[in-house]
Amino acid sequence: MSDTLPPLSGGCLCGRVRYAATPTHRDGYYCHCRMCQLAFGNTRAAFFNLRKDQVRWLNGPPAYYASSKIARRGFCGHCGTPLSFEFLDGENLDLSIGSLDDPGQLRPTEHFGVETRIAAWHGDDGLPGSRLDANAGIVQRWRTAYGEGAEPGLETVRQAGGTMAAPSPAKKDSA
Ligand SMILES: [Zn+2]
Ligand SMILES: [Zn+2]
């Protein structure tokens, strides 16, 4: 039944990055976390989740950047379209709904990261919502990477010095 769904296709604005995706469902979700808001330059992100082996990058993989110590985001290195999100240690990834050739093939089913949802830009659609810090698996990933007691989210990333690799030790003023 669901295994017979036809593949989805998508890609970036300029057309350089293209993918084929074979999820076994048609469910998407909104993420309202601050990192997604910034990564998309928008009030929220819309994604669908599938296994990494259900995505085929047709012209080679997208460019990536580390949005935290535990995740990376794929985008077109030429036009900048946000394409994917994945935890480094996970077997799944998210693709952006807007990058689909036909985004209307999927339906939103829930809201995530509702603690930073922007009320003025959100109309109640009756869909269920959950908090980022209510997901035990995600909280554990953050604490393993950033330390016991670290709260998942943008502030933790920034307090740790951003998303780049740890800076080399500061040069001494010995000269
Ligand atoms: Zn592009
Ligand atoms: Zn998010």
- Residue 111: give its domain's CATH number: 3.90.1590.10
Q: Kindly identify the ligand whose nearest atom is closest to the C-alpha of 76.
A: 1
**d(CA 75, ligand 1 centre) in Å:** 8
**d(CA 134, ligand 1 centre) in Å:** 35
**d(CA 54, ligand 2 centre) in Å:** 21
- Looking at residue 60, its pLDDT comes to 97
pTM of the entire predicted model: 0.89
Mean pLDDT confidence for 112-130: 97
> Does residue 60 belong to any structural domain of this protein?
yes
> Does residue 137 belong to any structural domain of this protein?
yes
Range of the domain at 80: 2-150
Mean pLDDT confidence for 169-175: 48
> Does residue 86 belong to any structural domain of this protein?
yes
> Does residue 28 belong to any structural domain of this protein?
yes
Residue 40 in this model has a pLDDT that exceeds 70: yes
CB 73 within 8 A of CB 80: no
Strand order across the 55-57 sheet:
8-11, 18-21, 55-57
For residue 7, what pLDDT band results from cuts at 50, 70 and 90? very high
Residue 96 in this model has a pLDDT that exceeds 70: yes
- Looking at residue 28, its pLDDT comes to 98
> Does residue 82 belong to any structural domain of this protein?
yes
Residue 98 in this model has a pLDDT that exceeds 50: yes
> Does residue 77 belong to any structural domain of this protein?
yes
> Does residue 94 belong to any structural domain of this protein?
yes
Which residue from 129, 89, 104 is spatially nearest to 26, judged by alpha carbons? Answer: 104
Q: Kindly identify the ligand whose nearest atom is closest to the C-alpha of 19.
A: 1
Which residue from 36, 29, 171 is spatially nearest to 110, judged by alpha carbons? Answer: 29
- Looking at residue 115, its pLDDT comes to 96
- Looking at residue 82, its pLDDT comes to 98
How many CB atoms sit inside 10 A of residue 90's CB? 15
Mean pLDDT confidence for 87-96: 96
- Looking at residue 175, its pLDDT comes to 47
Of 8-12, 25-29, 103-107, 161-165, the poorest mean pLDDT is in 161-165
**In total, how many domains does the chain have?**
1
